[in-house]
Amino acid sequence: MRDVLLILVPLVAAFALLPFVYSNHLLLFNFIIFIVLAQGVNVIYGFTGYLPFGYVGFFGAGAYGFSLMVLHLQAPPLLAIVVGAAAALALALVLTPLFRLSGAYFSIANLAASLAVLQVVANPNLENYTRGPYGISLSGIFNPPLAYATAVAILAMTLFAVIFLRNSKFGLALQAIREDAISASMAGINVVRERVIAWLLSALIAGLAGSVFAWYASVFYPETVFSGEFTIFAIVFALFGGTATLVGPILGVIILYGIYNAVGISTPQYFQLIYGALIIGLVLFLPNGLVSLLRRWGIDVP
């Protein structure tokens, strides 16, 4: 536990203090959001083996839950964040029947569900409620410094949740289910219940990220918060670093998103080449992510 805290505390402290010495606060905020989302994917995929192609649906539900509370009820931002997270949880509960599926069928059905939610919130007939395809404007609560500080707090809570999963009986039960659900069931583990709890926790993490994103951005369109890019990046970052670990998704975000910002924005053609080469190399030589390489070198990675 001590080794984990030696990683977690400096990381959170760094993101809390960097805005005072580094002017690009948006970049720092995006790093936080992707670390949170990658850890959310880590919870549902790394610990249960279910790959959520439509994970962005929970992110978008959080953003819209937050926004509608502010727009229609003039709720304070912190209360609206709680409601945004609750909206993501509600969506996850509605989608629990997807666990009757497995493998690619689950992933594709999850993707279809997120696209369906996008079509609902972007429906022009719901303009009076969701603003339809015309976007959300929350200029009245625009407060990037406070939203950023809240994002740092959400990052800390997310990392503590992953630490709990790694070190608790619940987390061990999830990993047993991932390896062999039938054997886990025979050992007395309630497979369905444990999977649903992990699913809800994963959705909660994405809902919190979506809520604080809506607060920080204050102006966005449905296609922004339901963009498949969020899901793709979160999954790739988690897999690149190594799932079922605390450090893996963090490494994935720092390396790949760092490369994206250093190369991808100015020279996208080179970024795609580098990005593709890294991913191919990972699949061929490090299927368990970068953490597996560190462990080969004798470094104990939590």
Mean pLDDT of 74-91: 98
Residue 3, pLDDT > 70, answer no
Rounded to the nearest 10°, the torsion over CA 278, 281, 287, 289 is -40
Distance CA 212, CA 94 (A): 23
User: What percentage of the chain exceeds 70 in pLDDT?
Assistant: 97
Q: How far apart are CA 198 and CA 171, in angstroms?
A: 9
H or E segment to which residue 137 belongs: strand 136-137
Give the pLDDT confidence of 147-173 residue by residue, as tens digits: 999 999 999 999 999 988 888 899 889
Backbone φ and ψ for 136, nearest 5 degrees, come out as: -110, 140
**Span 6-51, pLDDT tens digits:** 778 899 999 999 999 999 999 999 999 999 999 999 999 998 889 9
